[in-house]
């Protein structure tokens, strides 16, 4: 996503101990993700989409300080008066901020000060939670909603941390590993057979309708009509993609959208991001350094332009986001596991044998590019105040991605979740599924 | 549109005399549009979206030469071997071409040579039509289809000529008139009352299904589901828009999409394109020079960003393209007249009194921005060969506009026609209709 | 030159008939240079350094209107109130102006209006001259100085017209000829032998000291010290330059200044501007269309970077401007003839045999790049008022060129004249002479 | 300087212990300069001219490894095979390298690895020195020359480290101090009286002629002629410069060179770099954080454009480099002290009273902009091989600065030393002295 997104629904009252436990767990998880980094790694911004990890650590903290402590703790003193300027992401409502492209020019405050900032805000947050929960049977609804959003927001940044760290380390010719390799990267895996699975059309209901949290862009739930369609039972693999490359996919403009072709020429794209060839063999840069390409694993780090060109080449097309959500429900898709926790930031091959009439890898492998613009759902309303800038203002010229990736927090993996990026982006775990 | 678009359906056999007459009429119309220009006016390109009129005159001719004469007339000798390079617009299939941004740097060939080129191709086209029609009962289907497309393509460029000429003349502080003013520009007009008209939702069929010509992007016809909605009975007027401006519409980011706000700041937008203030009064640059603002006329020359910001400010929204097409059918919209022929390139106020339960100005006034991305319809297929580049490769990051404008050829004004532009474009006759 | 330059010395009183004759001749010469052009040619600006011929025609007229008619004719009514904005070149003192890069976007006023402007100003100028000369024995000194400057300024623009026209026509693949070829372009010519001629060093005096007109940047005259040096008796020829090319001159960074090398790589320079290869043979675009390369003619249309790289490759160096002026006096250099009048805009080979101890081609062939920055001479003073912007503000980051070219008005060819351009410019008639 | 510069003269034989001592001292000095930094500070590159301190630490080490160890130690194994790519600055002769603008995107290798690199190279260098010195009575001349150049090169980077660190820390609104303030910053100081001191003209000899080391650009020594001139006895102070600002210096184009005026408008310059106004009082960012402006201290961090505009405003001019060197010898200028060692990176006011007929602050206060292009001296020859890229390729479009600053190593402060920068640069300690 380009941005985190606000809650539309206040969660039901929960026990204080649960809140404290979740708060601590989410905050700890962010710090844990940064632990393998050196201070030097936390400062740089090798492209505009990537934020320095130090900035992520501070910005997620700023969110709690700005929206909760400053609002609900009467005599709260900010940790530092300049941090509101330094760590605001894009909220015009909240004043001026560092130009996004300049986040990587700031060496100060140092990393340790940011950790101190986190500790300061955490201490006050825990005190505040205690005080609010003690005063009433449940937290005030508005507070509870913002608190939930703060946690969800921080989890969104955890995924960005994972992908930004990968990009940062990739820029060095030293190909440093974020984590030691576990020895499983290079194993060959059999390719499961491809099949085309039918999904019946008609009027379907999409959008979030459950009890729990969702982002405002998943609402309002509404009816859509789609015709019958079929989709592939698995994601496009690295082996599939090598065929596209061998077949001249990057050399033939007829497969490409015009803007994509121009960009591919200008950037001299010849393979997905992070691929490199040595002695006639393909490797990928991963969180475990440079690794041989696993042919059976899903292809990832492709732009929408490449996904669409691949589909043209294959005589197929991408799904729309409506079709994807209908299919995910139709096949009862289940997430693959807990990724952030396991630190396996690499899409895995489909286990073989795979049930032939089952649709695999819908949730938690790679974000699947859909051919749907990221626009508001019918009945969508921007929130008032600063949170109205959370989602709504990005609803143009981006495409919806569905399904969650191996870097997505488990609680963010659900059939209605709408991620969104511009068509040229490649540094997220983005992949391809074909439809007809 | 950014580009002309190919026929998907071969037209039914028609009489040769009709073909000859139509060919002559369309070709003549293009030349007539350029007649008020000086040679100097036909060369310049004051912004990348605008092509020099000389280029339009030649490119439409190149289309007939390339797709028809070179294919169907066995011993056809091209008028000049370099013209394929000079006047190809964007067809990669047909070799290299002048960079689009450099069209305005070429003084040669001179205008007269381009008219000679037109005469050369016209003579050969008429001979070829004669020969082909004489040989059989009807034209060969493939030829007939390309011939039709050539005419439709030239008509699309006629609208671009009208808007490009306006832009070219507007860049001079002399504010030269393309045509003499007819004295009607400044008359005040009463504003018809606004009402909100309901349209019933449900499953509707959209897309072109008739016998005649349509572009491939209007197909395949298909079902869509929409909820009940209401729309305004008339377009947003200049008077309405002045209220938005007076209400701080250009100063408050909360009404705007993020990319739109950044652009508006950078370009210092404070009013629609072509508006200027003198002595406290607003004027617009028109084909008749600088004219006082007609308050009752529809606002035009606004970007999608401005249209969307206006809708937010007004507590409403824009239509989707599906809603627009359903409404146009629901209200039995009829085009307002023949514009190119009448040379009234200025959206006119709604006559007063206007029937209160009628939906006005749907066809032929201004292109109405919809909040729908220009994506392929289900079942859309790109044509093989060079014509596959006509439409399909532009289907990303643009928005659909509906309804036709006062500069649109009458035969291009129909409820299924999909025009498309990037959200920032303002030099077409683009306007706003509100929905809820 | 990037700019015209003001007179520092008032000319001596002259007869009115001489003034009228000179005024008419200079003004006529400008119009004559544009006569072979079509209106289309007079509008475009294919790169920022090139101004549309229509602009030159108007700007030189604006100079007389602004600095003479508005100042000295009491009730003078400007031809058009917007022309001061449209045709000011760079005088901040005189208000805002069209951005230089946008001169080619203006189709209006049309060419005919500019000729009418010229006629209007000429009529008033002749009347004014008459009146002023009649009133006194001689023209007022300040007026006479400005009048002289107006003529010199217009002559500087005549050279720019010649080189801008060449560039404008060169951008078309049609390679149109400005003038018919005279059949002499392709003749082979023998190469005169090269020799190195010594010039004694010591203290020399440079700068203008005569009675006639000079530009302020030629003053004050002053002493300089140079060591003994030698220079080549002729300019570097196309044949010489082909050896540099064949010897890898464009492929070996060691010959190049850093900024030059980067630019040459980025622009993919492989030969001088206007050179093109067909079927293994080199051609140059000239005012007479595409012509075979004349091996014996001086190489021209090279940047300073290329000139300096050539010198390095040849084991030599370029002259300083002091050395050049000292050498020109030492050898009693004489201009080669009247170029603008003869319309021979092509440097000619040195006649063979050439006197071996004579230094050839010093004046009127090509502008010779010197390795001297264009800085003020000791004692240089900027004029007060708008004319202070004529020369002084350009005295940085440009290099001095000496000698005049085949496109320079004869009266501008003198040993003290300082022309100046940025090191990357190639569209003037610039060439190379070696020193040691 | 934009670049370090090679030795032209081999130093005389010296004792091994002296070499070892100097090597250790210079290398230690570089590390000492970085000691107050955090790892985060050593990575960023907030503008293209600034290099990350980590890069300086590695690049100076790479110089010894590349030019000495790889050449003279037969079986030397490089510390890391990728470092040649990572830490080459601009030597085309030595292969490809990181784009200069991307130095700040590289978090790896970490700072500690760079210190290990330094230790590795230092150990090998000391062994090599020992071996070479033991084998012969003196070091081989070519080695000795390169060794000397390596030390001089590293000292040049020490000054860049000082100024780059200042810029890096300045980008944070936190205004962090590199070193604690010593309490002397804010003290007021009396302004010594200004006087104009005459220097007799005539033929003078300039350029380096001593026994010790100099850079190749200081040679060959040669005669120049200058007229009599006068210069001010002290540098322009902050108080002087405030008068220029108050007098509209930044608002009146007439004082400025054209390119300078355009840049100043675009960048919105209103004061020297690092100046900021709070509550009506001026402060400067320094190595000791934000400090009140010391009115009596020399103005610094001004571009050539500002220096030249100031001189115009003051009715004076800048010196040429020839005049400067002649004046420095005429007045027997002596350096002010050892700056790098004392860590007083702030130009100090002239002690009062100052001898009225003495010329002050010529050496070691600020680099004085001269109005002389950085061109080769007569007889200058580029070295063969990679070292030929050290100086010669930068000799265009830059200006010479003279005198050394408070951040210059003492051994680099001499009357013949030619520093050079583009006219727009402001992050070095650059200042102004007036002449007439």
pLDDT in tens, A75-119: 999 999 999 999 999 898 888 899 999 999 999 999 999 999 999
What is the mean pLDDT of the segment spanning B301-329? 98
In the prediction, which pLDDT does A184 show?
Answer: 53
In the prediction, which pLDDT does C395 show?
Answer: 96
In the prediction, which pLDDT does B259 show?
Answer: 97
**Interface test mutation site (partner A, options D85, D108, D166, max chain A beta carbons within 10 A):** D108
Percent of chain B with pLDDT over 90: 78
> Rounded to an integer, what distance in angstroms lies between the CA atom of residue B15 and that of residue D329?
99
What is the mean pLDDT of the segment spanning C400-412? 95
- Residue A397: list chain B partners with CB under 8 A: 259, 397, 423
- Residue D172: list chain A partners with CB under 8 A: 106-109
Instruction: Look up the ipTM and state it.
Output: 0.94
Question: Can you give the residue ranges of every domain in chain B?
Answer: 16-170, 196-435
In the prediction, which pLDDT does C183 show?
Answer: 59
CB distance from A169 to chain D under 8 Å?
yes
Q: Which residues of chain A have pLDDT under 70?
A: 1-14, 135-138, 182-189, 336-338
> Measured between CA atoms, how close is A20 to chain B, in angstroms?
34
Average pLDDT, chain D: 91
CB distance from D11 to chain C under 8 Å?
no
pLDDT one-digit tens code per residue, C211-261: 899 999 999 999 999 999 999 999 999 999 999 999 999 999 999 999 999
Contact between chains at D396 and C225 (C-beta distance less than 8 A): no
Count interface pairs B-C at CB distance under 8 A. Answer: 92
CB distance from A260 to chain B under 8 Å?
yes
Per CATH, the number for C16-170 is 1.20.120
In the prediction, which pLDDT does A261 show?
Answer: 97
> Measured between CA atoms, how close is D102 to chain A, in angstroms?
8
pLDDT one-digit tens code per residue, D57-86: 999 999 999 999 999 998 999 999 999 999
In the prediction, which pLDDT does D137 show?
Answer: 59
pLDDT one-digit tens code per residue, C306-320: 999 999 999 999 999
Question: Which residue in chain D is spatially nearest to A81 when comparing CA positions?
Answer: D174
Question: Which residue in chain D is spatially nearest to A80 when comparing CA positions?
Answer: D174
pLDDT one-digit tens code per residue, B208-246: 998 899 999 999 999 999 999 999 999 999 999 999 999
Count CB-CB contacts under 10 A for residue B355: 9
pLDDT one-digit tens code per residue, C248-282: 999 999 999 999 999 999 999 999 999 999 999 99
CB distance from B92 to chain A under 8 Å?
yes
In the prediction, which pLDDT does D211 show?
Answer: 87
Contact between chains at A174 and D39 (C-beta distance less than 8 A): no
In the prediction, which pLDDT does B3 show?
Answer: 39
Distances (CA, A) of D322 to C219, C392, D196, D223, D377: 20, 21, 18, 10, 11
Per CATH, the number for A196-435 is 3.90.1580.10
Q: Which DSSP helix (H) or strand (E) runs through D400? A: strand D399-402
In the prediction, which pLDDT does B249 show?
Answer: 98
| Residue D355 pLDDT grade (very low, low, confident, very high; cuts 50, 70, 90) | confident
Count CB-CB contacts under 10 A for residue C334: 11
pLDDT one-digit tens code per residue, B114-149: 999 999 999 999 999 988 877 665 678 899 999 999
In the prediction, which pLDDT does D6 show?
Answer: 42
- Residue A223: list chain B partners with CB under 8 A: 225, 227
> Rounded to an integer, what distance in angstroms lies between the CA atom of residue C27 and that of residue C20?
11
- Residue A395: list chain B partners with CB under 8 A: 257
Three-state SS string over chain A comes to CCCCCCECCCCCCCCHHHHHHHHHHHHHHHHHHHCCCCHHHHCCCCCCCCCCHHHHHHHHHHHHHHHHHHHHCCCCCCCCCCHHHHHCCCCHHHCCCCCHHHHHHCCCCCHHHHHHHHHHHHHHHHHHHHHHHHHCCCCCHHHHHHHHHHHHHHHHHHHHHHHHHHHHHHCCCCCCCCCCCCCCCCCCCCCCCCCEEEECCEEEEECCCCCCCCEHHHCCCEEEEECCEEEECCCCEHHHHHHHHHCCCCCCHHHCCHHHHHHHHHHCCCCCCCEEEECCEEEEEECCEEEECCCCCECCCCCHHHHHHHHHHCCCECCCHHHHHHHHHHCCCCCCCCHHHHCCCCCCCCCCCCCCCCCCCCCCECEEEEEEECCCCCCCCCCCCHHHHCCHHHCCCCEEEECCECCCCHHHCCCCCCEEECCCCCCCCEECCCEC
> Rounded to an integer, what distance in angstroms lies between the CA atom of residue C387 and that of residue C430?
27
- Residue A110: list chain D partners with CB under 8 A: 38, 40
Nearest to B396 among A253, A259, A395 (CB): A259
In the prediction, which pLDDT does A356 show?
Answer: 77
What is the mean pLDDT of the segment spanning C272-300? 96
In the prediction, which pLDDT does A6 show?
Answer: 42
In the prediction, which pLDDT does A208 show?
Answer: 96
In the prediction, which pLDDT does B362 show?
Answer: 96
Is the confidence at residue D115, as pLDDT, over 50? yes
In the prediction, which pLDDT does C135 show?
Answer: 64
pLDDT one-digit tens code per residue, D130-166: 888 776 656 788 999 999 999 999 999 999 999 999 9
CB distance from B257 to chain A under 8 Å?
yes
D–B touching, 3+ CB–CB pairs within 8 Å: no
- Residue D54: list chain A partners with CB under 8 A: 40
| Residue B8 pLDDT grade (very low, low, confident, very high; cuts 50, 70, 90) | very low
In the prediction, which pLDDT does B285 show?
Answer: 97
In the prediction, which pLDDT does B64 show?
Answer: 98
- Residue D41: list chain A partners with CB under 8 A: 107-108
pLDDT one-digit tens code per residue, D175-230: 999 998 765 544 556 787 899 999 999 999 999 998 899 999 999 999 999 999 99
CB distance from A46 to chain D under 8 Å?
yes
Q: Which chains have at least 3 CB atom pairs separated by less than 8 Å from chain B? A: A, C
- Residue B172: list chain C partners with CB under 8 A: 106-109
What is the DSSP annotation of C295-349? TTSBP-S--HHHHHHHHHHTT-BPPPHHHHHHHHHHTT------HHHHT--SPPP
| Residue C197 pLDDT grade (very low, low, confident, very high; cuts 50, 70, 90) | very high
Average pLDDT, chain C: 91
CB distance from B375 to chain A under 8 Å?
yes
Question: Which residue in chain C is spatially nearest to B44 when comparing CA positions?
Answer: C105
In the prediction, which pLDDT does B188 show?
Answer: 58
| Residue B86 pLDDT grade (very low, low, confident, very high; cuts 50, 70, 90) | very high
Question: Which residue in chain B is spatially nearest to C41 when comparing CA positions?
Answer: B107
CB distance from A375 to chain B under 8 Å?
yes
Contact between chains at B396 and A90 (C-beta distance less than 8 A): no
In the prediction, which pLDDT does D190 show?
Answer: 77
If you compute the radius of gyration of chain A from its CA atoms, what whole number of angstroms results? 22
Is the confidence at residue B62, as pLDDT, over 70? yes
In the prediction, which pLDDT does A307 show?
Answer: 98
Question: Which residue in chain C is spatially nearest to D320 when comparing CA positions?
Answer: C378
Nearest to D40 among A39, A46, A47 (CB): A39
In the prediction, which pLDDT does C342 show?
Answer: 79
- Residue C169: list chain B partners with CB under 8 A: 107-108
* Residues A218/A292, Cβ–Cβ less than 8 Å: no
């Amino acid at each position: 996503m380009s941005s985190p997104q606000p809650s539309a629904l206040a969660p039901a009252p929960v026990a204080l101990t649960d809140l404290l436990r979740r708060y601590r767990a989410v905050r700890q998880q962010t710090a844990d993700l940064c632990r393998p980094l050196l201070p030097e790694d936390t400062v740089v911004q090798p492209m505009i989409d990537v934020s320095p990890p130090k900035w992520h650590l501070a910005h997620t903290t700023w969110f709690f300080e700005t929206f909760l402590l400053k609002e609900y703790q009467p005599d709260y003193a900010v940790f530092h008066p300049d941090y509101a300027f330094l760590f605001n992401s894009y909220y015009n409502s909240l004043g001026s901020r560092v130009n996004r492209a300049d986040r990587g020019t700031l060496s100060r405050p140092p990393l340790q000060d940011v950790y101190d900032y986190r500790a300061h805000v955490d201490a006050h947050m825990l005190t505040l939670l205690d005080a609010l929960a003690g005063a009433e049977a449940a937290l005030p609804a508005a507070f509870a909603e913002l608190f939930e959003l703060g946690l969800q927001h921080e989890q969104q940044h955890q995924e960005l941390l994972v992908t930004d760290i990968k990009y940062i380390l990739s820029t060095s010719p030293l190909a440093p590993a974020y984590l030691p390799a576990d020895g499983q990267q290079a194993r060959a895996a059999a390719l499961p057979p491809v099949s085309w699975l039918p999904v019946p059309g008609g009027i379907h209901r999409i959008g979030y309708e459950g009890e729990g949290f969702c982002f405002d862009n998943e609402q309002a739930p509404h009816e859509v009509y789609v015709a019958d369609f079929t989709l592939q039972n698995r994601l496009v693999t690295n082996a599939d993609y090598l065929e596209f490359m061998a077949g001249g996919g990057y050399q033939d403009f007829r497969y490409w959208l015009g803007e994509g072709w121009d960009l591919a020429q200008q950037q001299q794209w010849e393979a997905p991001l992070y691929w490199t060839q040595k002695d006639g063999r393909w490797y990928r840069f991963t969180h475990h350094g440079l690794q041989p390409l696993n042919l059976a694993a899903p292809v990832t780090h492709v732009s929408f332009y490449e996904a669409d060109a691949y589909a043209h080449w294959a005589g197929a097309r991408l799904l729309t986001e409506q079709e994807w959500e209908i299919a995910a429900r139709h096949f009862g898709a289940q997430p693959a596991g807990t990724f952030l926790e396991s630190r396996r930031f690499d899409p895995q091959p489909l286990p073989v044998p795979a049930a032939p009439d089952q649709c695999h890898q819908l949730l938690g492998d790679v974000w699947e590019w859909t051919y749907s613009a990221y626009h508001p759902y019918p009945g969508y309303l921007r929130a008032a105040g600063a949170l109205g800038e959370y989602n709504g203002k990005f609803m143009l010229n981006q495409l919806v991605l569905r399904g969650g990736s191996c870097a997505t927090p488990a609680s963010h993996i659900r059939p209605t979740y709408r991620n969104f990026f511009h068509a040229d982006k490649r540094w997220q775990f983005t992949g391809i599924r074909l439809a007809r």
